[in-house]
Chains A and B, each alone.
Chain A
Amino acid sequence: MSEAHQHDKAVVGRLLAGDELAFEDFFASYFPRLFRFALARLDHDADAAEEVVQSTLCRAVTKLATYRGEAALFTWLCTFCRHEMSAHNLRGRRTANDASLLEDSPDVRAALESLGALAEAPDEPLRRQELARLVRLALECLPERYGDALEWKYIHELTVAEIAVRLQVGPKAAESLLTRAREAFRDAFATLQAGAEAWER
């Protein structure tokens, strides 16, 4: 079991023990990610995403004891979320394709191919759009704090000291977290690429 999965298992252990602080951390960490996960797959219908994610998390807390740490907790939650989205789509008579995952999309392949040219100047709007979707997907795979740190660093252009304040840690810890976030992002992106290539075959 990986270190990250062990951490996830410890989180679940604390939830099972009734630790209120653990619940706060769990909700703050996973709700936004699951919400965005559902939103992207429900035609950006925020009310539908809210309903689905609420059902997902309520179902997950009843099944916590079955979590074995074999997959990341977020992946485990996404499994419930997919079921809830299917049920939601059936109720609303939407097509099953509506809930298909971005990483399953054939467009992902094309987006990946455009990655190499990104650093220069991607000037083709569609490719840029698809690439942006892929990056968002990669960001969604990261722990919430990693996503926050990367966003603060590269979009809001905060300094490490400012990020440290927001993360409520020291500058060294913030720098270290940023390094881990960059690494995790690169891995997530590479994993998505591998998945897309496998899908192609």
Chain B
Amino acid sequence: MSDSHEPARSRPDEKSIGPLVRLAGPRQTVADERMRRVKAAVQAEWHRQQRIRSRQRALRWTIGTLAAAALVLVAVRLRDRDAPAGAPAARALATVDALSGAAQVISVPGVGPRGARIGDRLQVGDRMETTVGSRAALRLAGGASVRLDRATRLRLVADQAMVLEEGAVYVEAETSHSGVPLEIRTAFGVVRDIGTRFEVRLQGPALRLRVRQGLVRLLQRGETHDVRRGEELMLGSDGRVGRSTTPVDGPDWTWVRALETAFDIEGRSLREFLEWIASEHGWQLRFADRAVEEKARTTTLHGSIIGLTPEEALAAVLPTSGVEHRLERDVLLIRSNTGEAKD
């Protein structure tokens, strides 16, 4: 028998809940501005921690790989000093760069799916899957960015090559350093970038290709279709091709922004910030004159824009840098805010 001194609990009955809650009155609300300030600071710290953890994971992976490689080397030498070197360790083709919701990585051979984490390294044969509630972004070894929309399945098959099995991807390939064009392979044909930003979407019995910037080439049964900025191409399973124009910004592109990786402005130039924001929107960046361009190149930014929308970020950064912006269709024009721009 227990001799516990646990006090008896007196639960208010159902009828008392209403009067009790009304007696307490509404809970104090927090001003939006206050909430946004704190959120920006906490999110910045959280991102910083992500980067630290990602570096630590990469370091552990490297040490582990080196240790494994050393063991293999010793084993091979003991077995047969004249034997040819074994196959090189699988190289990472891509890294998980951003996540929204729970995505999965399925590795070969036969290893079950695992929850994706920022900084995960993907190799040949790995498959990335997003659910109806998640999205993910990969950074390829060559520098290109590939964002996966909801309910997407993508398999890495080679350097700069992947198979889109389901869903949609948005590719930002102009940062590729390898010189090898990036390819998105589908059941309909192969989409090859030529320095650009585009979306490939499998829509039922058709493939939709929309180009936000640059030029994309679709190779299909020996035919070549070039698609340019502001164009959309629909390719049906019967091989029929339809073309139309498409806006390069707006609601259809909103999902891409959901995976926007936070841009840390601290110590970066104004030009870098403007290039980033233009790329996120599919805008073309233009300076009113050389003096403004030079100012953008030499101005160093401080602080944080995390938590701000792109429009808010522009409004926060530009006035303190002595410039202003105007958006004319899809062109982000930057000019001095001290007077009229020179030609």
Contact = CB atoms under 8 A, between A and B. Distances in A.
B99 A151 contact: no
Contacts of A128: 23
Contact of A19 (B12, B25, B102): B102
Contacts of B23: 118, 122, 128, 131-132, 135
Interface string B11-41: 1101111111111111111110011011101
Nearest to A57: B42
Given A19-B102, A128-B23, A61 B7 contact: no
Nearest to A62: B49
A139 to B, nearest CB: 6
A186 B15 contact: no
Contacts of A53: 38
A20 B99 contact: yes
A133 B28 CA distance: 12
B79 interface: no
Interface stretch (A66-74, A92-100, A160-168, A189-197): A189-197
Contact of B19 (A118, A151, A186): A118
A155 B26 contact: yes
A18 B7 contact: no
A115 B98 contact: no
Contacts, number: 150
- Central interface residue in A15, A50, A133, by most chain B CB within 10 Å: A50
Contact of A50 (B34, B45, B116, B258): B34
B119 A194 contact: no
Contact of B101 (A13, A21, A35, A193): A21
A11 to B, nearest CB: 12
A132 B26 CA distance: 11
Given A19-B101, A21-B134, A135-B21, A189 B49 contact: no
A115 B119 contact: no
A64 B31 CA distance: 27
Nearest to B15: A119
B8 interface: yes
B117 A15 contact: no
B6 interface: yes
B5 interface: yes
Nearest to A199: B7
B9 interface: yes
A186 B17 contact: yes
B244 interface: no
Interface string B97-114: 011111000000000000
